[in-house]
């Protein structure tokens, strides 16, 4: 009860309807979640409430996007123009998308060109794959636009090296970097690429040295922060990873995934109380979200709050009855509670959905064994061993070989 009161108090403080300039990030986070849930009208209302207090350009670009998703093109265009007035260059992409949807090709291309000349320029691949531009990508104007070279050597090398690292071609990635490194010296993009390559090569320590420098720069790209956080996690530096999540949220409040990522790293760091608070905040943003309920359930289980964990995992089963993981999650709690029959039922349901889970067979065998059903347990231990669970061999030797 005290914890629930604490969560409610946290949200009263964080999400008060009285908005101050310091609350812009909170609004951006909440509204991003509403847009993710296709609740565009509610997101628009939230942005409008914030704009009445603080005319941050981000509120206009994000509200413009919500207007766009809601089919309100004129309102979207007004917002993107307002964003440009407040922060030059910030609204051109939104304008290009708006005009493309309205099939105003010349205006769409003109604004996209302005975007490509701005500090807000997206990578070429993201623009080419942008669904808003699908209706104009076969036009003469579109092809003419891409005859110009909008990206410098570092931009092009970044796209190439990211692809090479993603396809595990580390040697080729190093060669590509060496071709431009001297030209761009110690620019942030070069530092990031060095970190990316070392991360791809499995050299976590070296990767972190480079990435820590890269994220220290103003407005480091989100992909840089995400890689930095992932590498801290790989290095088992969970508290630093959680702190990095918090820093990244301040810069990219619309990236709500950081809240859940922060929760997981806090859990791994042993700070279960803070981890559960973060998970509950994410659950408030995304009611019924499977990952959020699972995260909260795992923390509750680790805290010995079994009834709470069962309630959360049961919610997932109700919402996602075709997901085997939801049943194995709850079964694991029943196993800890020594509720053998309930555990057997849930593991059986999970195995009906995914019959190649060696861990589920093993745990179901343990529950059957404790229920006095040795013959059935031995069958499950054999199935567990077949699907790679080595622990099952010990159980077979002890209970099943006469």
Encode the chain (402 residues) as per-residue pLDDT tens digits.
Answer: 444 444 434 444 444 444 554 589 999 999 999 999 999 999 999 999 999 988 899 999 999 999 999 999 999 999 999 999 999 999 999 999 999 999 999 999 999 999 999 999 999 999 999 999 999 999 999 999 999 999 999 999 999 999 999 999 999 999 999 999 999 988 999 999 999 999 999 999 999 999 999 999 867 899 999 999 999 999 999 999 999 999 999 999 999 999 999 999 999 999 999 999 999 999 999 999 999 999 999 999 999 999 999 999 999 999 999 999 999 999 999 999 999 999 999 999 999 999 999 999 999 999 999 999 999 999 999 999 999 999 999 999 999 986
The confidence score (pLDDT) of residue 5 equals 46
The answer to whether residue 123 is domain-embedded is yes
φ and ψ at 241, to 5 degrees?
A: -65, -40
> What radius of gyration do the chain's Cα atoms show?
26
The confidence score (pLDDT) of residue 22 equals 53
The answer to whether residue 234 is domain-embedded is no
The answer to whether residue 52 is domain-embedded is yes
The answer to whether residue 349 is domain-embedded is no
Q: Looking at the whole model, is its pTM more than 0.75? A: yes
The confidence score (pLDDT) of residue 12 equals 40
The confidence score (pLDDT) of residue 166 equals 97
Q: How far apart are CA 228 and CA 205, in angstroms?
A: 11
3-class DSSP assignment, residue 202: coil
| CATH classification at residue 116 | 1.25.40.10
The confidence score (pLDDT) of residue 147 equals 95
> Which residue is it, tokens 């410098």?
152
Report the candidate in 22, 27, 55 with the shortest Cα–Cα distance to residue 43: 27
* Owning domain of residue 138: 19-149
Q: How far apart are CA 82 and CA 77, in angstroms?
A: 9
φ and ψ at 265, to 5 degrees?
A: -70, -35
For residue 133, what is the DSSP state?
A: G
> Which residue is it, tokens 């608070």?
277
The confidence score (pLDDT) of residue 30 equals 97
The confidence score (pLDDT) of residue 1 equals 42
The confidence score (pLDDT) of residue 9 equals 41
Q: Locate 57 and state its tokens.
A: 């350009």
The confidence score (pLDDT) of residue 20 equals 55
> Number of C-alpha atoms within 13 angstroms, CB side, residue 288?
6
Q: How many domains does the chain have?
A: 1
The answer to whether residue 29 is domain-embedded is yes
Q: Can you say whether the dihedral through the CA atoms of 388, 389, 391, 397 is positive or negative? A: negative
Are 348 and 366 spatial neighbours (Cβ–Cβ below 8 Å)? no
The answer to whether residue 117 is domain-embedded is yes
The confidence score (pLDDT) of residue 186 equals 82
> Number of C-alpha atoms within 13 angstroms, CB side, residue 8?
5
Residue 367 burial by Cβ neighbours in a 10 Å radius (0-12, 13-18, 19+): buried
The answer to whether residue 122 is domain-embedded is yes
Q: Can you say whether the dihedral through the CA atoms of 272, 275, 281, 283 is positive or negative? A: negative
The answer to whether residue 59 is domain-embedded is yes
Q: How far apart are CA 377 and CA 371, in angstroms?
A: 9
């Amino acid at each position: 009860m005290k914890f629930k009161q604490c969560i409610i108090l946290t949200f009263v403080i964080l999400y008060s309807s009285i908005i101050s300039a310091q609350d812009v990030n909170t609004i951006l986070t909440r509204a991003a979640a509403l847009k993710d849930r296709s609740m565009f009208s509610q997101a628009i209302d939230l942005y409008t409430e914030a704009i009445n207090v603080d005319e941050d350009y981000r509120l206009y670009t994000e509200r413009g996007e919500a207007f766009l998703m809601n089919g309100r093109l004129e309102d979207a265009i007004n917002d993107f123009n307002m964003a440009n007035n407040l922060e030059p260059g910030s609204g051109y992409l939104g304008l290009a998308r708006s005009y493309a949807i309205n099939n105003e090709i010349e205006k769409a291309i003109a604004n996209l060109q302005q975007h490509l000349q701005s500090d807000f320029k997206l990578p070429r691949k993201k623009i080419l794959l942008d669904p808003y531009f699908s209706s104009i990508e076969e036009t003469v104007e579109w092809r003419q636009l891409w005859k110009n070279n909008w990206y410098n050597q570092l931009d092009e090398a970044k796209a190439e090296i990211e692809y090479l690292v993603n396809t595990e071609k580390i040697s080729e990635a190093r060669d590509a970097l060496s071709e431009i490194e001297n030209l761009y010296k110690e620019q942030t993009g070069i530092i990031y690429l060095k970190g990316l390559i070392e991360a791809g090569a499995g050299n976590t320590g070296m990767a972190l040295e480079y990435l820590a420098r890269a994220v220290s720069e103003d407005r480091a790209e989100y992909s840089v922060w995400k890689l930095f956080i992932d590498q801290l996690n790989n290095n088992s530096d969970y508290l630093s990873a959680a702190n990095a999540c918090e820093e990244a949220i301040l810069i990219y409040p619309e990236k709500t995934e950081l809240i859940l990522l922060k929760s997981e790293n806090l859990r791994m760091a042993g700070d279960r109380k803070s981890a559960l608070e973060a998970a509950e905040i994410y659950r408030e943003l995304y009611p019924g979200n499977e990952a959020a309920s699972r995260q909260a359930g795992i923390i509750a289980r680790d805290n010995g709050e079994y009834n709470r964990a069962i309630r959360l995992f049961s919610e997932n089963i109700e919402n996602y009855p075709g997901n085997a993981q939801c049943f194995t999650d709850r079964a694991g709690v029943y196993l800890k509670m020594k509720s053998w029959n309930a555990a057997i039922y849930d593991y059986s349901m999970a195995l009906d959905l995914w019959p190649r889970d060696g861990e589920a067979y093993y745990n179901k065998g343990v529950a059957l064994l404790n229920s006095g059903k040795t013959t059935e347990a031995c069958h499950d231990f054999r199935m567990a061993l077949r699907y790679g669970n080595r622990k099952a061999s010990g159980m077979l030797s002890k209970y099943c070989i006469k």
